[in-house]
Structure 1
Amino acid sequence: MAWIAACLLALTVAILASYMQGASAGAIEDFEDATSSPCEEINLITCFLPFVAFAVSDEAKDYTPARAKGVITQPQLTRLCDLGNDTAICFRDYTKRCIGSEHPEVHLTAQGTIDFLQFCTKPDAHSKVQKLFSCAQTMEAIHNRCAKSSSSMLPTDVDPSSPTAMVKRPNALRDLCCHVKKYEGCYLPEVQTHCGAEGVTANQDFLQRIYTSYQCSKHFPNCPA
């Protein structure tokens, strides 16, 4: 789900670690006090806790060999979709409650993530994602190279001390769209050779869903060189 989710997940782990250090009754009481206000930043962080818990669980270990083989089962996809949707709804609800209309792109990002995850409800979702998984495994070296070459589109001025500041960061959505577009330009021309016509279609459909969900077309003319 893009650099925004990745940054927030990493930040969640760091903040949780600080909460856990020297845990005591007083620390727990402080945590309870922090969550009493619906717009405390901890309530934004908790949106991502299910993903963090999943990432360190025994269940997540089953995904490692599947990824290595380029395979994902229907139950595994359903699990990931459910986690993603619950997180996205929590994030959307927090932004509606706590972030004003002067930050329209925050709200667009939140709703766009929910819209993007609607692909999970499609009857052919598993077959399409399986094609993406298989193709990604075949092109792993190319994806790694393209990830490095497109990293210039990622933000370097993110403030890790405040998750709210991170989501309000100017041009965050533009950077997301431009990063994906540059990544596409690097890897997509090679998909036909490595994955065939079906692989091209699956990747193009996936990219188009990202661009539509986040209204990326209006940002492409402003992508940094």
Structure 2
Amino acid sequence: MKIAPGKGIKRVAFRTASATVFTLRSCIQKLIEDGIIDNEGTPTKKQMLHLSPKMIAMSADHLGSTSLGNIKLQKLKDFKALWHPVGIQLVGLLNRVLAHPPVACFMSHCGWNSTMEGICNGVPFLCWPFFGDQMHNENYICNVWKVGIGFNRDERPLITGKEIKTKLEELLENGKYKAKVLDLKERVTNCIKEGGSSHNNLKHFVK
């Protein structure tokens, strides 16, 4: 990236991350100016944020775990990231495991790659996010797409074996989660086919 400008070469970054990550990066300076985060990327108070009209609200508490505090990255100049929703053909080991017929659900940390792998294989989620955009991805999985269930922590706060058993039984006994993820799988698959929106976005990106 540093050498390219001197050689007259255009720079483009391609990363398989959710739109949330890129939206956050583009909003860092405004979040600081509005007093939502400090210069280290730490939220100043509890509140819900709408970073984009097309995104659901996210908690400011989750911003502190998205690595926003790198000032050097915030001040990079002459570089613009353009996000296109694109479909990637998944061929990894996890993808082969999820495609196996006996797999009934996916206990996931809700990283974006794992989210796409679960959806593309039509497998409902048990969500256990840790950091970054994972909490926001969980929000989409559970509350927008409704293809999974999250866990509730107790007063310690821990996720108990009983809580895992309860949510697992709910996920497997209620057919709506499987039905919804299969419907979402079909829509995603159509997007990455030739002529689909993700296929066209990838062609545009390459051009």
TM-score scaled by length of structure 1: 0.23
Q: Which has the higher contact order (CA 8 A, sep 6+)?
A: 1
- Bigger share in helix: 1
Tell me the TM-score normalized by structure 2. 0.25
